[in-house]
Amino acid sequence: MRIEREIISQFRAWKDKPHRKPILLKGARQIGKTWAMEEFGRECFDYTARFDFDRSPELRSAFVNSKEPSRIIKELSVYSNVPLIEGKTLIIFDEIQECEEALNALKYFCEDAPGWHIIAAGSLLGVAVRRRRMAVPVGKVEVMRMYPVSFREFLKQSAPSEFNYIDSIVAPERLPDGVLNRLLLEYRRYMVCGGMPEAMVAMLENSGMEAVDNILQGILDLYDLDFAKYAEPREIPRIHALWHSLPSQLGKENRKFVYKVVKAGARSKDYEDALMWLEDAGMIYRINSISKPGIPLAAYEEPNAFKVYACDCGLLRRMARLSGEVIVNPVTGYTEFKGAMAENAVLQSLMPQLQGNIYYWTSEGKAEIEFVIQNGDEIIPVEVKAENCISGRSIVVYNEKYHPRNRIRFSFLNLQQNCGMLACPSPLAEWSLKWLL
């Protein structure tokens, strides 16, 4: 089954740019980076040549011996099964973190041979760059970030009629009950499988819960192996403990990250490197508190107060050993973690749109806004409610204090807009910003 990935449309736009730079593609493991690059090559080029520096370390010699792009291309042609023709061949440098010389060579392709179409990617690229102090050719590459499959991409495959209906909405209007019910059903299915392509395909093909869980567990096991392969020995147990503390961190009513949940007596200075490792790997999102919603939000960030979410709601569910049936049919006792799953899924939708410009706000323990986002020159409070429970005064407190032009509340209730409040079904988070006043 083919899931249409929206990043391919970004690749297409890049292909036709008059002043094109090589792409450096970043993103977590197992989200489909290699597939997306090769699919783009199949669609838009006569040939695709993929060079994997992990599987074929001998490729490094082409970059060690010369920095001249024409010479590098000649040497690479020895290892390619397809012709390397400028303008007709997409060149993929995969696992580029295994060859620093290839990473540096992107600068020379940008300056001296811009006619070549090159995309470079790698597993844990951010981690490798930091650990090995690798030099990234800043200004000579176009950095793109890829995320797990979004609900928008999932819905387009699972319910195309509903997708087309939602995608055609210009201004917020109440959804027909049939459309809303189908949306919520598909959203629950998405929260079960998450955005890892293999797990999603298993869900879309109705392969059963056991198959989905086995795939997600396999990815989690692979992540644990990555700790041993890419982290410093002294950091491995800290990274492992921090990563596996996520369900406990998010299961608290107050989801602020607490080091003692990782380990009794743990201190921030002992675990900051482990936290940065997981961020660089794209496995977590760190959302900092702000002292007030001013522009720019980054100026009011409080670095010592933050929450940590998983990059994917399906992986979070599996880490917590939460049955998929509970997502579809919630049971008594599934309360705080239901809220955590709701927040993680909404954040997963907002991250690609806002590129990380997301924070949260609290008021002396009396109120908390799950997310505060900066959209252009506007600061928008975002409230996330689990399913149909919309009680609470936090958004009222925020509104009385700061008087924002727009506010967003995500829940499972129908779509409507009233006096600057966009009440939006959580499945439509990826469409919400275009409906603001």
> How confident is the model over 121-133, as pLDDT tens digits?
987 887 877 776 7
Contacts (Cβ under 8 Å, ≥6 apart) of 364: none
> How confident is the model over 199-240, as pLDDT tens digits?
999 999 999 999 999 999 999 999 999 998 888 899 999 999
pLDDT band with cut points at 50, 70 and 90 for residue 147: very high
pLDDT band with cut points at 50, 70 and 90 for residue 2: confident
Identify residue 214 by its one-letter amino acid code. Answer: N
Full-model pTM: 0.94
How many angstroms separate the CA atoms of 73 and 332, rounded?
62
> How confident is the model over 387-429, as pLDDT tens digits?
888 778 899 999 999 999 999 999 999 999 998 999 999 999 9
> How confident is the model over 89-104, as pLDDT tens digits?
999 999 999 999 999 9
Long-range pairs for 201-204: beta carbons < 8 A, 24 or more residues apart: 201/1, 201/3, 204/1, 204/3, 204/154, 204/157, 204/158
> How confident is the model over 243-256, as pLDDT tens digits?
999 999 999 988 99
Residues 368-378 have a mean pLDDT of 94
Average pLDDT, the chain: 93
- DSSP code for 120: E
> How confident is the model over 30-63, as pLDDT tens digits?
999 999 999 999 999 999 999 999 999 999 999 9
Q: How far is CA 131 from CA 136, 234, 276, in A?
A: 13, 13, 11
Contact 410, 426 (CB under 8 A): yes
pLDDT above 70: percentage of residues in the chain: 99
At residue 132, the pLDDT reads 67
Contact 285, 313 (CB under 8 A): no
Output the CA angle 127-132-138, nearest 5 degrees: 75
At residue 126, the pLDDT reads 78
> How confident is the model over 281-293, as pLDDT tens digits?
999 999 999 999 9
pLDDT above 90: percentage of residues in the chain: 82
Asked: is 7-145 a CATH 3.40.50.300 domain? The reply is yes
Closest of 311, 308, 252, 225 to residue 31, by C-alpha: 311
> To 10 degrees, the CA torsion angle through 109, 110, 111, 115?
70
At residue 66, the pLDDT reads 85
Q: Is the pLDDT of residue 332 over 90?
A: no
Query: What are the structural domain ranges in the chain?
Result: 7-145, 151-435
Residues 148-163 have a mean pLDDT of 97
